[in-house]
Amino acid sequence: MTSTNPYTYDKDQKVLCFHGPLIYEAKILDRRQETDEQNASYPIYHVHYQGWNKKWDEWLDGTRILVWNEENLALQKRIEQFYSTKKGLLKKNGSPSSLDPNANRKRTREELEKEKEESDFLNKPEIQLEIPEPLKCQLVDDWENITKNQQLVPLPREPTITQILAQYKQYKLEKKSGKTWNPDLIDEVSQGLCMYFNKALGTMLLYQFERQQYSDLRRKHHNKDMTDIYGVEHLLRLYVQLPTLIAHTAMDETTISVLTDHLGDILKYIHKMRKQLFVSEYQNASPSYVSIVNGN
């Protein structure tokens, strides 16, 4: 009786791996089996990123590893292009004193106060939300559909953001195993998420091509919150911005830790239910819509 090979990848195999938002070339150095909380075994892989110092070598489960093929190499380029268009996302932190020709002049009181504000901001507790790799790919598809293909998310969406968060709450309360969640805290986090979305949508979450659609919806549904119009596609964009938004609040480290836990769990639910939540096809914008956007 032959045993089934539990491994997807072999030692010394050349692969592609997610590290942060981008995909890099890597090599499998070793592999072994781990056991989860339910005593089920799963494989993990020790990988080395090509051209990187070995201090970056790490053990990963299979979710961050991709087969080396033309399709995934194309995905690597698409993701790199997506993030390179986002202002500042791929910029390295330079040394202001070495770049600023006025660095040695006497600073004004206003400049010193601004520096203090920036220092206080940088010293605030940091929120980190790990977006699963399939959802990172979803962000890239979303960007390409709108900015390159001139397509739109069909709106109003079904389910809406409000409905998704209600479904999430029901899912957590009905789940028998795992961590117990406080329903009042779920409501509080969901309400906060909706508040952030409604405030950020028009200023931070839209591509230029979508702004006319947003204006039309605001006029047509002026008595509705945008969380009752938009769906998971735009909620996922909010998740990219949340660390920055929350960093500007006065929350303490304990509150941010609890909030991060809940926001991360909602993201896991979105990942788990992604086939049911994300729209299957974007709609082509009408010629008249394109004409308005282009100012014709």
CATH number of the domain residue 187 falls in: 1.10.274.30
Tell me the CATH number at 74. 2.30.30.140
Tell me, yes or no, whether 76 and 217 share the same domain.
Answer: no
Tell me, yes or no, whether 137 and 80 share the same domain.
Answer: no
Q: Which two tokens stand for residue 122?
A: 């940088």
Tell me, yes or no, whether 26 and 152 share the same domain.
Answer: no
Position 13 pLDDT exceeds 60: yes
Q: How far apart are the first and last CA of the chain?
A: 71
258 is a domain residue:
yes
Distance from C-alpha of 292 to C-alpha of 296, rounded to nearest angstrom: 6
Distance from C-alpha of 148 to C-alpha of 142, rounded to nearest angstrom: 10
37 is a domain residue:
yes
State the pTM of this model.
0.70
DSSP letters spanning 16-82: EEEETTEEEEEEEEEEEEEE-TTS-EEEEEEEEETTS-GGG-EEEEGGGEEE-SHHHHHHHHHHHHH
Token pair 């494989």 is found at 43
Encode pLDDT of 61-91 as tens digits. 888 899 999 988 988 888 888 877 764 333 3
Tell me, yes or no, whether 70 and 138 share the same domain.
Answer: no
Name the residue among 4, 7, 28, 5 with its Cα closest to residue 16: 28
Tell me, yes or no, whether 153 and 283 share the same domain.
Answer: yes
Tell me, yes or no, whether 79 and 138 share the same domain.
Answer: no
90 is a domain residue:
no
How many distinct structural domains can be found in the chain?
A: 2
Tell me, yes or no, whether 140 and 242 share the same domain.
Answer: yes
Tell me, yes or no, whether 39 and 164 share the same domain.
Answer: no
92 is a domain residue:
no
Token pair 């106060």 is found at 113
Token pair 């308005």 is found at 292
Tell me, yes or no, whether 148 and 49 share the same domain.
Answer: no
Token pair 């790919």 is found at 137
Residue 197, Cβ density class (10 Å: 0-12 exposed, 13-18 middle, ≥19 buried): buried
161 is a domain residue:
yes
162 is a domain residue:
yes
Encode pLDDT of 89-133 as tens digits. 333 333 333 333 344 445 566 655 555 444 443 444 567 788 888
Q: Which one of 57, 84, 111 terminates a domain?
A: 84
Tell me, yes or no, whether 156 and 237 share the same domain.
Answer: yes
Parallel, antiparallel, or unpaired for β 14-19 and 65-67? Answer: antiparallel
8 is a domain residue:
no
pLDDT at position 246 is: 80
Give the three-state DSSP class for 152: strand
Identify the domain containing residue 69 by its residue range.
14-84
Whether the bond between 21 and the residue before it is cis, its omega within 30 degrees of 0, is: no
Least-confidence region, from 19-23, 43-47, 257-261, 289-293: 19-23
Query: Would you tell me how many other CB atoms lie within 10 Å of the CB of residue 266?
Result: 21
